[in-house]
Amino acid sequence: MSKSANCPFCKIVRGEIPAVKVHEDERTLSFMDIQPASPGHALVIPKAHAPDLLEIAEADLCAATLAAQRLARAVRTALAPDGIRIVQTNGAAAGQSVFHYHVHIIPLQEGQRIGVHGRAPAKPEELEALAVRIRGALAA
């Protein structure tokens, strides 16, 4: 069995588990983090499985990086945070919990102190409402 068979992000790409999608193209998928560190926290992944930065194909890395930039701009437009934290971790010791390369886009307000992951799952309707706003900014 391949490593991607049980990967939760690969399952999202294949439509086997739900996600609140924000944007999708040929190589990447962006969706809302189900345990957000702050409102609007989203993830960008390559559709092709790669466990981390050290193993991702160059073309997928470039596509994911450009998608992360577009998503961060849309989050800035849609949610007007004071700042945006971009996080990418490699290995359990660094805080990686899903071993499929991904980039966190985390909007922050001045003085807000957060980790990479939130402490509780978000309500699906709240994630969808934020995704609608971000999608609108991507389309603009």
Q: Can you spell out the DSSP letters for 116-131?
A: SS-SSPPPHHHHHHHH
Predicted local distance difference test score (pLDDT) of residue 79: 98
Q: What angle do CA 121, 75, 28 make, to 5 degrees?
A: 80
| CATH code reported for the domain at 3-139 | 3.30.428.10
For 9-28, write each residue's pLDDT tens digit.
Answer: 999 999 999 999 999 999 99
E strand spans, the chain: 21-24, 28-32, 42-46, 83-87, 103-108
The residues pairing with 32 across neighbouring beta strands, listed in sequence order, are 42
For 76-98, write each residue's pLDDT tens digit.
Answer: 999 999 999 999 999 999 999 99
Instruction: Report the chain's mean pLDDT, rounded to a whole number.
Output: 95
Predicted local distance difference test score (pLDDT) of residue 117: 77
Give the active site residues.
102
User: Rg of the Cα trace of the chain?
Assistant: 14
Predicted local distance difference test score (pLDDT) of residue 31: 98
Predicted local distance difference test score (pLDDT) of residue 129: 97
Say whether 11 sits in a helix, a strand or coil. Answer: helix
Phi and psi for 105 in degrees, rounded to 5? Answer: -115, 110
